[in-house]
Amino acid sequence: MKTKATPAIKLDSLAEVNDLGKPWRYEEDGLTVTRSSIWTPPGCHPVGCGLKLYVDKSGRLVRVEGDENHPVTQGRLCPRCIAMKDYVYNPSRVKRPLKRDPKDRGQADKWVECSWEEALDLIEKEYKRITGQYGRESMIIFVGTGREGGTLLPYATMSFCTPNFCYSQSGYACYTPRLAACAYITGIPYPELDYAAGLPGRYDDPQYEVPEVIMLWGKEPLPSNPDGFFGHAVTDLMKRGARLISVDPRVTWLSAHADYHLRLRPGTDTALGLAMIDTIIKEELYDKDFVEYWCYGFEALAERAATMPAERAAEICGIDANYIKAAARMYANAKPAGILWGLAVDQKKNGMQNGQVIVDLMAITGNIDRPGGQVVGDINSGLNEGGFGFDKGIGPELGAKMIGIKEYPGYCNLILNAQADLALVALETDKPYPVRMGMYTGNNLMACTSGEPRRWHDAILRSLEFCIGVDCFITPSIQASCDVFLPLATVVERDGCLFAEYGAAPLYFGACNKAIDPDGTKSDLQIAFELGKRLNPHMWEDYNDVYDFINDLRLGKKFTFDELHKEVTLQQDISYFKYERGDLRRDGGLGFNTPSGRIELYCGAYAQFGDDPLPYYEEPPFSPVSTPELMADYPFVLTTGARTYAFFHSEHRQIPYLRELNPDPIVEVNPDVALRLGIADGQWCEVYNMFGSAVLKAKITQAVDKNTIHAQHGWWFPELNPNDVEKDGPYHTFRSNINNLNPNGYQGKIGFGAPYKCMICNIKPVEKSYDTNMADVWAKFGKLV
């Protein structure tokens, strides 16, 4: 064997690895400074960026700075963190519970302030009425960014005890398809690019090796730290010699600095991956020892990959065959090499197969669980942290009623979520049963994540007799459909904890340390705790407060919150080559936590759930190849949702400093296309297809090619009419919502994946201007309260 087991380095105190050694709270120039490792709200991915929160003697947050003590972010912050004060004290933020009659939904002036006691009484009354009539399965909880340190599942499993916890994006096309592919193929939650985040010495740690090559696949990490990966770690590694391969249809800063930019047609990634595997195998560039000892089904994979040589993939993807082969050689010859894979992998019907070929590339090159390759957790790493009482709170009989569990067991059983596309059908049809009560937490589905948002809007209003919204602001989804609003504390107003990258990769723990009084708001965990004590007290009988819950289920009794919050950040124990020591299997055996004990290149779990055990390429359901008859009307491939520095999904539109960076929704158009269609830079355009349309402002740029249109997502206009008007919806959320063009019901065979980044469309200029008047935005939101 070429690999050698390396012992773990244990971190006892953060003071061992930083020179500054600031305590978690101290005084400076008459201000109290609280160090915190934050995660939402406001929304972000779970990096746990280090902040120093400066509070004056009156208890008001007056300044935010980056914390040099943080072992990963090291004082670096994005604009969203810097604007934290403007979020916390925004004049449109709601800090008291509200209620209104269900017949007044959509009308902003019908909200009435009420006490917490009154709001919780009303929720308890409606919960008992509705579940008494229809059963607990009649409640659905819509979840989004995963606030409060990693998951909001306790709302479902421990408070309301409903099986229908639902991320409402078609095919759960965000992060989870990659998790599922990893779990089924390797038994590991998520192999992340190793950027030494959990090592005491970081890049200079004796265990670590800087990757020679980083392949960025469908991920541009600088604007948003996607999935919890700290994006600027890529530039750190570039300074230390790492070279880049970029797989991305758009030109980005990182792709412009790559040795190879594989600028493929959106949605064709799996063909590219198979061709790279074929090149590596035919040229014998794979790690023969790792494949022999630790992989299952190599010969079958080789045979399947041979059906997609680089020449065939070149025709599908629009990339030169020799370029594909050269990039494959660069990746395979690098020792070590890592892949940083992103949202674009998930956002296609063929997403599980895209994930499969990427994991297979990691495996056959021997880069899994090695320094500078893919860092992985041990057997204690999990996807849902034990389900947060799922067995006790829901149990097998009620769990069997989860929407979609019969049709998509590989989806529902893995992530304990109702299948999103079938949840929409249930709201529209009452099949398999009526859904009559709902809740939004960390979710703004009508503005942000859900395809055909007007369809969701109509289905929710048709079906739900009572709905609860939990947020810092009245969002379009809450305005349209909620009857009670519960005000949420921001991350500077609550205590909590986080696991970097949702705990799927072994990096570090962070403490969200409260710096200021919550002023009438409460955290998600506090709300779940208080609701649970009322509705299902047996689920919370072991907990006197949320700190008991954090210590037990969140931190798993590794240490207490009191110990964590004083350190602010604690790196985890990191080791490599765990498969050689039995640290990846529940039975203590060598190898991986799969039926074969090996990485299953031929994946029996895929076959179990009705899919091909080997990767295969499938054209997007709407494309120049699969629907040529539509190309005269919709000649462009539409890709959506590239992240910006100003916003996180649909959040931050009411923060003037951030809105100045991106005042209007942008659609990117190639200069040749713009010239041909008479579109000027800055002109408003209608983007449309057979499912819907949206108006956005044109940005003429070479970032997209002549066949591709890219549009931003998550837009609503908090400065405009809040009422649910027939055409545009609350805050005009449907006017520029690119998800109007993205359908539901085109998920993959296991239930994951949807074509958010590979639809078809057309575009035309419009005469009317919808330019944002920033003076109005400043007038409405600029004076902090």
Contacts of 633 (CB under 8 A, 6+ apart): 762
Q: What is the pLDDT of residue 150?
A: 54
- What average pLDDT does the segment 465-480 reach? 98
Please state, in angstroms and rounded to a whole number, the distance separating the CA atoms of residues 86 and 206.
42
Query: Do β-strands 636-640 and 708-711 pair in parallel, antiparallel, or remain unpaired?
Result: parallel
pLDDT of residue 388: 78
Tokens (6 digits) for 600: 């299953």
Q: Does 681 score more than 50 pLDDT?
A: yes
Cα→Cα distances 707→673, 736, 743, Å: 8, 22, 21
Sequence-separated (6 or more) residues with CB below 8 Å from residue 120: 530, 531, 534
pLDDT at 21: 84
Reported as a single tens digit per residue, the pLDDT across 311-343 is 999 999 999 999 999 999 999 999 999 999 999
223 Cβ contact list (under 8 Å, min separation 6): 78, 231, 643, 644, 645
- Low-confidence winner among 40-44, 401-405, 686-690 (lowest mean pLDDT): 40-44
Does domain 191-375+578-608 sit in CATH 3.40.50.1860? no
Predicted confidence (pLDDT) at residue 382 exceeds the cutoff of 80: no
- For helices 298-305 and 269-282, the axis angle rounded to 10 degrees is 110
The CA distance from 268 to 264, in Å, is 7
CA atoms within 13 Å, Cβ hemisphere of 162: 29
Give residue-wise pLDDT tens across range 3-58. Answer: 333 233 333 443 343 337 889 999 999 999 999 999 889 988 889 999 999 999 99
349 dihedral zone (left: phi>0; alpha: psi -120 to 50; beta): alpha
Integer Cα distance of 785 and 779 in angstroms: 13
Query: In 10 A of CB 314, how many CB atoms?
Result: 20
* Cα within 13 Å of Cα(384), Cβ side: 22
Six-digit token string for 615: 């990767």
Least confident of 336-345, 471-480, 566-575: 566-575
Residue 514 clears pLDDT 60, i.e. is over it? yes
DSSP string, 402-438: STTTTT-HHHHHHHT---HHHHHHHHHH--SS---EE
CA 262/CA 324 separation, integer angstroms: 7
CB atoms within 10 A of CB 775: 10
What is the CB neighbour count within 10 angstroms for residue 785?
9
d(CA 697, CA 48) in angstroms, rounded, equals 34
Give the pLDDT score at 387. 65
Query: What is this structure's pTM?
Result: 0.95
Across 728-732, average pLDDT? 96
**Residue 741 DSSP label:** G
Residue corresponding to tokens 């947020």: 471
**What sign results for the dihedral spanned by CA atoms 475, 477, 480, 484?**
negative
Residue type, 505: A
Q: How many angstroms separate the CA atoms of 171 and 751, rounded?
A: 6
CA dihedral 254, 257, 261, 263 (to 10 degrees): 50
Say what the pLDDT of residue 384 is. 42
Give the span between the Cα atoms of 650 and 662, in whole angstroms: 13
Q: What is the pLDDT of residue 15?
A: 39
178 near 190, Cβ under 8 Å?
Answer: yes
Token pair, residue 346, equals: 């998930």
Residue 298 to residue 493: CA distance in whole angstroms: 52
Helix, coil or strand: residue 537: helix
Residue 742 token pair:
């993205």
Taking Cα atoms as reference points, which of 139, 2, 12, 14 lies closest to residue 71?
A: 14
Q: Which of 573, 430, 549 has the alpha carbon at shortest distance from 497? A: 549
Place of tokens 């008007």: 725
Task: Check residue 2 and give its pLDDT.
Answer: 33
**In the numeric block, which tokens belong to residue 769?**
């201007």
The pLDDT of residue 149 is 55
Angle at 425 between CA 421 and CA 429, to 5 degrees: 175
Tokens standing for residue 98: 């509200």
Residue 659: pLDDT band with limits 50, 70, 90: very high
- Give dist(CA 649, CA 44) in Å, integer: 9
Tell me the pLDDT tens digit for each residue of 107-137. 999 999 999 999 999 999 999 999 999 999 9
Q: Is 686 helix (H, G, I), strand (E, B) or coil?
A: strand
> Sign (positive/negative) of CA torsion 498, 500, 503, 509?
negative
Q: Do domains 191-375+578-608 and 628-781 have the same CATH topology?
A: no
Question: Average model confidence (pLDDT) for the chain?
Answer: 94
Q: How confident is the model at residue 759 (pLDDT cuts 50, 70, 90)?
A: very high
Structure token pair of residue 658: 């951030």
Tell me the CA distances in angstroms from 267 to 15, 48, 217, 218, one per residue in order: 47, 32, 12, 10
Per-residue pLDDT tens digits for 518-561: 999 999 999 999 999 999 999 999 999 999 988 887 787 678 99
d(CA 205, CA 31): 36
Residue keyed to tokens 């499938």: 618
Residue found under tokens 């609503």: 716
**Cα 588 to Cα 578: distance, rounded to the nearest angstrom:** 11
Model confidence at 144, in pLDDT bands (50, 70, 90)? confident
Q: Which residue has the higher pLDDT, 153 or 663?
A: 663
321-333 and 269-282 helices, crossing angle to 10°: 60
User: How many other C-beta atoms lie within 10 A of the C-beta of residue 769?
Assistant: 11
CA distance 680 to 673: 10
- Does the structure show a pLDDT above 50 at 295? yes
- Single-letter residue type at 378: D
Q: How far is Cα 154 from Cα 540, in angstroms, rounded to an integer?
A: 10
So where are the chain's domains? 1-89+489-571, 191-375+578-608, 628-781
Distances (CA, A) of 373 to 336, 343, 666: 6, 20, 36
| Res. 66: pLDDT tops 90 | yes
- From start to end of 112-235, where are the E strands? 112-113, 139-143, 165-167, 192-193, 213-217
What tens digit of pLDDT does each residue of 594-627 get? 999 999 999 999 999 999 999 999 999 999 999 9
- Sheet order of strands, 508-512 included: 496-499, 508-512, 569-571
- CATH T-level fold of 628-781: Barwin-like endoglucanases (2.40.40)
Element (H, E) at 605: helix 604-608
Q: What band does 143 get if pLDDT is binned at 50, 70 and 90?
A: very high
| CA 756 distance to own-chain centroid | 14
Are 211 and 379 in contact, with CB atoms under 8 Å apart?
A: no
